[in-house]
């Protein structure tokens, strides 16, 4: 059955508050008070069997007594009576409800069982549930505050472009406060708590879909519904809406705390990180970074390229911002020579390269400032502009002329991305913001934000064809030998070294002669995972006689060492060298399903853990981005005189493996291709070993 959307929950026309209280400081009193003070235009039905009225509104003994079926219900009652309240809501036919109370799955087995029972009742009755253990929702444009968050104690939130979704109510409240303090408004605010029904993924999807949302700030400890989550991220990307994520549990200690705090299953943090990259979302490392970047993206304007111009009146600050921009991946490109000459003519002491330093002279004579800025805008070809103003705008007499002189330089560049670093009171900052400036105290924060804007623009511009995983293969039951795994993967497009499965020494000698020497022998059995340990591998055999003898001896040796193993025979393979050694793997992530890993072999994997991930399936372009992410990437471009490796073939292999894994996700537990040799450009990639692990149990 198709679940109903979250419309009734977040944009209701009528609401029942179950457990409504006269005390405006209590959980059951706050939502009522907030909605009334904020002027919620819908109908509010307090439910409280002990009162005639609550906060001046007629109260009802039960939702069953309400004169109409409200769009939604807010349950401000203790855990113990929540099941009864939900049951009544279902009986009344209310399509959605919020459960505030804690004391469920986060509090132990008993709470978990109760939570499951409530969820089952709601599901059977077709009612959507938010929570439990959450702070509810806010919809400032409607004045709808289905929450008891104290962030509203001082003032309400303004409607605006920032959507907020958070598993933690406290964190969601905190960033709402930061958004407000930054002079921004909020489209919708949803906290999901224990997620017995509505997940962060679904909340994200809903908030992204609202036309007024231009940027989303999200907080999660773990993602339960990986496919839905990816779909929401892709929807945001396709709609040019920036998602700025805070995901905790990135270290082992954090993950330990996350597991003990909520019922969410924390997926591997590396995989989560890769998912955000894959869909163009930004992962903030601190809350300060999260709000800084959301602030920059809230205008919905993104740069076309990554060239950043810096205007300064002090050399030192200019250098520092140039460092920061470069560290953020932006190009601090010099001004064209002719434009530099013009600025030099105007002011001989100026440094006109980039940073463009007009010296303190631009303060005494602001026409110089305007001329410099205008030259940068007209001739510099910058995608982003930034000026360093220090404490200048804090001076009352200086602030307005400075702003006007700057604005004069932007004539004809209305939609430009222009940032300022300055220290001034909030009212002064607001004046500059009204003129289209993004204002930061700290240059490092500005640079990181501009870098994020460029990264968003890059992700939004991607137009990769959607990969289609194809139909599942008819995979065998039980364990798979290397030969079987290779047969399966060959069908999926993977290329292996020339080889043959043989049963006798003379057969081996014959195949080796056909393949060409030297060859490698490997015992082939679904029951033997560690071949070397029982003498099941012999390398570098250079003639037929040696192959014959080694094969017979190996079969003998292994049969003795592993008498119960089913022996399919011996694999005779061409012994290849050359190329760059890499590894390709697939594992089944609990949140995101099949995930492809790629890394360089040897010390890169074993010492540096230099690997990266992508959720399957993905196309060739995404595979190229994946390859470029590893630290040792330069090795594939050719170092020490080696030729560049066939990265195109590698990208194709990664994409093909991802398609295969996605198509067979119900069966595949893991794949190892190790090593994979990436040969010089034009010569492809060759996998030398293969392992497929299947999931236990029958295919679904």
Which position among 120, 288, 411, 434 is part of the footprint of its own copies (CB under 8 A)?
Answer: 288
462 binds its own copies (CB under 8 A): no
- Indicate the helix (H) or strand (E) that contains 369: helix 366-379
Nearer to its own copies, 585 or 632 (CB): 632
**Looking at 149-157, 270-278, 520-528, 531-539, which segment touches its own copies (CB under 8 A)?**
149-157
| Neighbouring residues of 337: CB distance < 8 A, sequence distance ≥ 6 | none
Please, which residue, 238 or 394, has the CB nearer to its own copies? 394
Per DSSP, the residues of 112-167 read HHHHHHHHHHHHHTT-EEE-SSS--EEEGGGTEEE---GGGTT-PPPEEEEEEEES
Q: Establish if 221 lies at the interface with its own copies (CB under 8 A).
A: yes
The answer to whether the CB of 317 falls within 8 A of the CB of 356 is no
Name the minimum Å distance from CB 319 to its own copies: 4
**Please, what is the minimum distance in Å from the beta carbon of residue 415 to its own copies?**
26
Which structure tokens are listed for 698? 């029958």
Out of 444, 451, 467, 579, point to the residue binding its own copies (CB under 8 A).
Answer: 444
As a whole number of angstroms, the distance between CA 552 and CA 560 comes to 13
Among 319, 366, 492, 565, binds its own copies (CB under 8 A): 319
Q: Is 346 left (phi over 0), alpha (psi -120 to 50) or beta?
A: alpha
Segment interacting with its own copies, rule: CB under 8 A, options 226-234, 461-469, 511-519, 601-609: 601-609
372 binds its own copies per the rule CB under 8 A: no
Residue from 4, 53, 367, 395 touching its own copies (CB under 8 A): that is: 395
Task: Indicate whether 336 belongs to the interface with its own copies (CB under 8 A).
Answer: no
Report 396-435 residues binding its own copies (CB under 8 A). 423
For tokens 């034009």, what's the residue?
A: 682
DSSP 516: -
Site for its own copies contains 104 (CB under 8 A): no
In this structure, what token pair is assigned to residue 413?
Answer: 């560049």
Could you tell me the smallest distance in angstroms from the CB atom of residue 149 to its own copies? Answer: 10
**Among 494, 471, 468, residue whose Cα is nearest residue 692:** 494
Is 177 among the residues that bind its own copies (CB under 8 A)? yes
Q: At closest approach, how far in Å is the CB of 56 from its own copies?
A: 24
Per CB under 8 A, contacts with its own copies among 634-693 are: 634-635, 639-640
Judged by CB under 8 A, the residue of 224, 579, 632, 675 near its own copies is: 632
83 binds its own copies (CB under 8 A): no
State the nearest-atom distance from the C-beta of 322 to its own copies, in Å: 5
- What's the number of CA atoms in the CB half-sphere (13 Å) around residue 232? 23
CB 402 within 8 A of CB 432: no
Strand 569-574 versus strand 499-502 pairing type: antiparallel
Residue 4 dihedral angles phi and psi, to the nearest 5°: -70, 155
Give the nearest distance from C-beta 223 to its own copies in angstroms.
15
Cβ neighbourhood burial of 392 (10 Å; 0-12, 13-18, 19+): middle
Rounded CA gap, 213 and 211, in Å?
Answer: 6
Which residue among 100, 171, 385, 598 contacts its own copies (CB under 8 A)? 171
**Site membership for its own copies, residue 323 (CB under 8 A):** yes
Question: What is the chain's alpha carbon radius of gyration, rounded to the nearest angstrom?
Answer: 31
Residue 12 touching its own copies (CB under 8 A): no
Span of 38-46, 102-110, 461-469, 475-483 interacting with its own copies by CB under 8 A: 102-110
Task: Give, as one character, the DSSP assignment of residue 292.
Answer: H
Structure tokens at 414: 């209305």
Alpha-carbon gap, residue 238 to 526, rounded angstroms = 45
Considering only residues 179-208, where is the footprint of its own copies by CB under 8 A?
181
Q: How far is 355 from 313, CA to CA, in rounded Å?
A: 10
The answer to whether 258 contacts its own copies (rule: CB under 8 A) is yes
Residue 201 Cβ vs its own copies, minimum distance, rounded to whole Å: 17
Site string (107-146) toward its own copies, x via CB under 8 A: x---------------------------------------
Residues that contact its own copies, how many (by CB under 8 A): 83
**CA distance to 167, 202, 385, per residue, from 49 (Å):** 32, 34, 62
CB of 46 to its own copies, least distance (A): 23
Q: Which is nearer to its own copies, 3 or 344 (CB)?
A: 344
Closest separation in Å from C-beta 447 to its own copies: 9
Number of Cβ within 10 Å of residue 682's Cβ equals 10
- For its own copies, the binding residue among 155, 252, 474, 696 (CB under 8 A) is 252
Return the residue of 40, 311, 325, 613 that touches its own copies, per CB under 8 A: 325
Interface with its own copies in residues 525-554 (CB under 8 A): none
Q: Residue 491: enclosing H or E segment and its boundaries?
A: helix 482-491
Long-range pairs for 552-560: beta carbons < 8 A, 24 or more residues apart: 552/504, 552/505, 554/521, 554/523, 555/504, 555/505, 555/523, 558/523, 558/525, 558/528, 558/534
Among 5, 62, 359, 549, binds its own copies (CB under 8 A): 359
Structure tokens at 622: 């995404």
Q: Is the peptide bond before 518 cis (omega within 30 degrees of 0)?
A: yes
Query: Residue 84 or residue 349: which is nearer to its own copies going by CB?
Result: 349
Which residues ranging from 558 to 587 are in contact with its own copies (CB under 8 A)?
none
Site membership for its own copies, residue 345 (CB under 8 A): no
* 167 contributes a contact to its own copies by CB under 8 A: yes
The yes or no reply on residue 380 touching its own copies (CB under 8 A) is: no
Asked whether position 303 contacts its own copies by CB under 8 A, the answer is no
**DSSP label of 177:** H
Angle at 268 between CA 264 and CA 272, to 5 degrees: 90
End-to-end Cα spacing for the chain: 20
> In angstroms, what is the minimal distance from the CB of 459 to its own copies?
24
C-alpha 288: how far from its chain's center? 18
Task: Tell the smallest beta-carbon distance from residue 61 to its own copies (Å).
Answer: 28
Query: Least Å distance between CB 142 and its own copies?
Result: 24
Q: CB neighbours (10 Å) of residue 337?
A: 10
Contact flag: residue 309 with its own copies (CB under 8 A): no
Q: From the list 11, 82, 115, 168, which residue makes contact with its own copies (rule: CB under 8 A)?
A: 168
> Which residue stretch of 98-106, 541-549, 651-659, 669-677 sits at the interface with its own copies (rule: CB under 8 A)?
98-106
Asked if residue 154 binds its own copies (CB under 8 A), the reply is: yes
Helix axis angle, 287-297 relative to 169-181, nearest 10°?
Answer: 50
The interface mask with its own copies, positions 496-515, x = CB under 8 A, is --------------------
Quote the CA–CA distance of 302 and 253 in Å, as a whole number: 36
Residue 364 engages its own copies in binding (rule: CB under 8 A): no
Q: Tell me whether strands 384-390 and 417-422 are parallel, antiparallel or unpaired.
A: parallel
- SS3 track for 44-60: EEEECCCCCEECCEECE
268 is a contact residue toward its own copies (CB under 8 A):
no
Query: Does 227 help bind its own copies (rule: CB under 8 A)?
Result: no
Task: Decide if residue 287 touches its own copies (CB under 8 A).
Answer: yes
């Amino acid at each position: 059955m198709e679940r109903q959307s979250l419309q009734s929950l977040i944009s209701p026309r009528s609401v029942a508050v179950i457990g409504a209280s006269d005390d405006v400081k209590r959980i059951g009193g706050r939502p009522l008070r907030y909605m009334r003070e904020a002027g919620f235009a819908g109908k509010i039905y307090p439910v409280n069997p002990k009162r005639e009225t609550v906060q001046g509104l007629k109260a009802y003994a039960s939702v069953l007594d309400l004169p109409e079926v409200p769009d939604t219900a807010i349950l401000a009652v203790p855990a113990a009576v929540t099941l009864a309240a939900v049951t009544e809501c279902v009986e009344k036919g209310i399509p959605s409800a919020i459960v505030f109370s804690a004391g469920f799955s986060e509090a132990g087995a008993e709470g978990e069982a109760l939570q499951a029972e409530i969820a089952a009742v709601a599901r059977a009755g077709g009612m959507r549930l938010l929570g439990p253990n959450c702070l509810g929702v806010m919809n400032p444009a409607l004045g709808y505050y289905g929450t008891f968050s104290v962030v509203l104690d001082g003032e309400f939130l303004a409607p605006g472009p920032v959507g907020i979704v958070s598993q933690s109510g406290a964190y969601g409240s905190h960033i709402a406060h930061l958004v407000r303090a930054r002079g921004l408004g909020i489209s919708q605010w949803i906290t999901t708590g224990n997620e017995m029904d509505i997940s962060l993924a679904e909340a994200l999807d809903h908030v992204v879909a609202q036309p007024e949302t231009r940027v989303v700030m999200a907080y999660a400890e773990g993602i339960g519904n990986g496919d839905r989550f990816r779909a929401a991220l892709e929807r945001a990307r396709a709609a040019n809406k920036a998602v700025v994520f805070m995901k905790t549990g990135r270290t082992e200690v954090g993950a330990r705390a996350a597991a003990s705090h909520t019922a969410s299953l924390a997926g591997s943090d590396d995989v989560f990180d890769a998912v955000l990259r894959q869909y163009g979302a930004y992962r903030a490392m601190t809350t300060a970074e999260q709000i800084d970047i959301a602030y920059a993206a809230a205008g919905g304007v993104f740069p076309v390229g990554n060239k950043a111009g810096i205007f300064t009146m002090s050399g030192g600050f200019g250098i520092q911002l140039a460092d920061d921009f470069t560290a953020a991946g932006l190009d601090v490109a010099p001004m064209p020579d002719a434009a530099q000459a013009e600025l030099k003519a105007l002011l001989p002491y100026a440094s006109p390269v980039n940073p463009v330093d007009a010296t303190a002279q631009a303060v005494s004579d602001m026409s110089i400032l305007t001329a410099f800025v205008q030259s940068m805008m007209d001739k510099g070809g910058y995608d982003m502009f930034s000026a360093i103003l220090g404490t200048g705008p804090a001076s009352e007499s200086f602030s307005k002329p400075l702003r006007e002189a700057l604005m004069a330089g932007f004539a004809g560049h209305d939609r430009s991305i222009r940032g300022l670093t300055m220290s001034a009171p909030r009212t002064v900052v607001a004046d500059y913001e009204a003129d289209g400036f993004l204002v930061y105290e700290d240059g490092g924060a500005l640079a990181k934000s501009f870098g994020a804007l460029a990264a968003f623009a890059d992700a939004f511009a991607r137009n990769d064809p959607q990969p289609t995983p194809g139909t599942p293969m008819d995979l065998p039951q039980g364990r798979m030998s290397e030969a079987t795994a290779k047969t399966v993967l060959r069908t999926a497009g993977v290329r292996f070294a020339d080889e043959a499965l043989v049963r006798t020494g003379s057969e081996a000698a014959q195949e080796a002669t056909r393949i060409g020497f030297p060859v490698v022998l490997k015992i082939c059995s679904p029951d033997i995972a560690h071949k070397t340990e029982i003498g099941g591998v012999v390398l570098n055999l250079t003639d037929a006689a040696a192959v014959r003898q080694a094969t017979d001896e190996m079969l003998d040796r292994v049969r003795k060492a592993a008498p119960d193993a089913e022996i399919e025979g011996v694999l005779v393979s061409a012994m290849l060298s050359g190329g760059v050694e890499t590894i390709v793997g697939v594992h089944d992530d609990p949140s995101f399903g099949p995930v492809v890993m790629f890394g360089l072999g040897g010390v890169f994997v074993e010492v540096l853990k230099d690997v990266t991930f992508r959720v399957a399936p993905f196309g060739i372009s995404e595979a190229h981005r994946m390859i470029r992410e590893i630290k040792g990437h330069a090795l594939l471009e050719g170092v020490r005189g080696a030729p560049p490796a066939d990265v195109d073939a590698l990208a194709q292999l990664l994409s093909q493996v991802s398609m295969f894994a996605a198509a067979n996700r119900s069966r595949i537990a893991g794949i190892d291709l190790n090593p994979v040799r990436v040969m010089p450009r034009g010569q492809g990639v060759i996998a030398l070993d293969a392992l497929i692990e299947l999931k236990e149990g029958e295919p679904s």
